[in-house]
Amino acid sequence: MADQTNGDAFVAFEHVQKSYDGETLVVKDLNLSLPKGEFLTMLGPSGSGKTTCLMMLAGFETATHGEIKLDGTSINNIPPHKRGIGMVFQNYALFPHMTVAENLSFPLEVRKMGKSDREAKVKRALDMVQMGAFGGRRPAQLSGGQQQRIALARALVFEPELVLMDEPLGALDKQLREHMQFEITKLAHDLGITTVYVTHDQTEALTMSDRVAVFDDGRIQQLDPPDTLYEKPRNSFVAQFIGENNTLEGIITEIKGETCVVKLEDGQEIDAVPINVGTVGEKTRVSIRPERVEFNKDRLKEGAHTIKATVLEFIYMGDIFRTRLRVAGKDDFVIKTRNAPDQVRLEPGTEIEIGWLPEDCRALDAD
């Protein structure tokens, strides 16, 4: 992964490593920078290093090697409470014996702020999250969604320039989670707050972020805006981890400019864009998104490449149809097509040709 730091960074990780036992690195030579006001999500499976990075930035973990900077100043030796960073956790971490207003007032009291200023800031923060009428209640009298709003307000009450969020919506139901995703993103952008958000939920990362850093095995596998990440994955891990994806395995038989020819396991050949493959004879795993594949010949675009397939399942899902096919000996190839009046409905066992544009097919690493 190329160096992702720059001199104008508000937050910067420079050659940061972390080991808990002195031998195994859970974060490996991390170089990452955020400009002021960016909403960056660290996305990855459990154990990928994303939460450890967040905890090092917060000051709850210490980097084994390297430097973490905030607005150009090293914060390696600054304790958490002096970093001026807002934190939101999945479990809310509200004080149960305090009212909502007292929970919000606490970080201001720690900062020796006067009573009238505290009250004004608490009111402003509660209004921000539409909880102005709940100041006198205790956390136990609130729903999960309301508690999460209060936790967010507490992180914002002292007007930090940086807010860290660790799986903050994980305990909420789907509908409320989606609503809070929108609210958090809008609030962060409206206030101009730099935000680092940790999640394992791909949809959350894609819908909320300015950029997403995809972690695996202690490294950033790709750092890009959501659309680039989804449309142009740089390796097989990212292609598989972000959204639904079809993969076919084969051998590079020809490289011709910006495309290559891949011979699949059943002998069929397809064109693809070579991403991190370089030589003829090399094994590859080609990647193509389900919505980029078409089986209605009237909808195929000029230049589309077609191959043979067998229908295994045709599933009605309301707004879309999901078709599972056998392609090149694999039974897990999926096509998603919109529910439209001219959509052909396919019977299992039907032999068809499917097609896509070569630029929508990427030849990635075989591992």
pLDDT tops 80 at residue 92: no
Higher pLDDT, 118 or 325: 325
Site of tokens 């909420």: 172
Q: How distant is the alpha carbon of residue 361 from its chain centre? A: 22
In degrees, to the nearest 5, what angle opens at C-alpha 260 toward C-alphas 259 and 261? 135
Q: pLDDT digit string (tens) for 237-248?
A: 999 999 899 999
How many CB atoms are located within 10 Å of the residue 10 CB? 17
pLDDT tops 60 at residue 11: yes
Provide the 3-class DSSP secondary structure of residue 140. helix
Higher pLDDT, 303 or 184: 184
**Rounded-to-integer distance, Cα 275 and Cα 265, Å:** 20
pLDDT tops 50 at residue 1: no
- Answer left, alpha or beta for residue 144, where phi above 0 means left and psi between -120 and 50 means alpha: alpha
Contact 313, 348 (CB under 8 A): yes
pLDDT score, position 6: 57
Site of tokens 């009573």: 115
Question: What confidence category does residue 10 fall into, taking pLDDT thresholds of 50, 70 and 90?
Answer: very high
Which helix (H) or strand (E) element contains residue 57? helix 50-58
**Rounded-to-integer distance, Cα 331 and Cα 320, Å:** 20
Contact 191, 36 (CB under 8 A): no
> Which CATH number describes the domain made up of 11-236?
3.40.50.300
How many CB atoms are located within 10 Å of the residue 305 CB? 17
DSSP one-letter code for 97: T
Q: pLDDT digit string (tens) for 344-361?
A: 788 999 999 999 999 999
Six-digit token pair at 367?
Answer: 């591992």
Provide the 3-class DSSP secondary structure of residue 122. helix
- Answer left, alpha or beta for residue 71, where phi above 0 means left and psi between -120 and 50 means alpha: left
Question: In which order are the strands placed within the sheet that holds 11-19?
Answer: 25-34, 11-19, 65-70, 73-74
Q: pLDDT digit string (tens) for 261-311?
A: 999 998 999 999 999 887 899 999 999 999 999 887 777 788 788 899 999
pLDDT tops 60 at residue 7: no
Q: How distant is the alpha carbon of residue 354 from its chain centre? A: 30
The percent helix, strand, coil of the chain (3-state, each to 5) is: 30, 35, 35
**Rounded-to-integer distance, Cα 265 and Cα 248, Å:** 8
What is the location of CATH 3.40.50.300 in the chain?
11-236
Tell the CATH topology of 244-364. Answer: OB fold (Dihydrolipoamide Acetyltransferase, E2P) (2.40.50)
Six-digit token pair at 127?
Answer: 């209004």
Provide the 3-class DSSP secondary structure of residue 71. coil
What is the location of CATH 2.40.50.140 in the chain?
244-364
Q: Which of 53, 47, 52, 48 is nearest to 4 (CA)?
A: 53
pLDDT score, position 3: 45
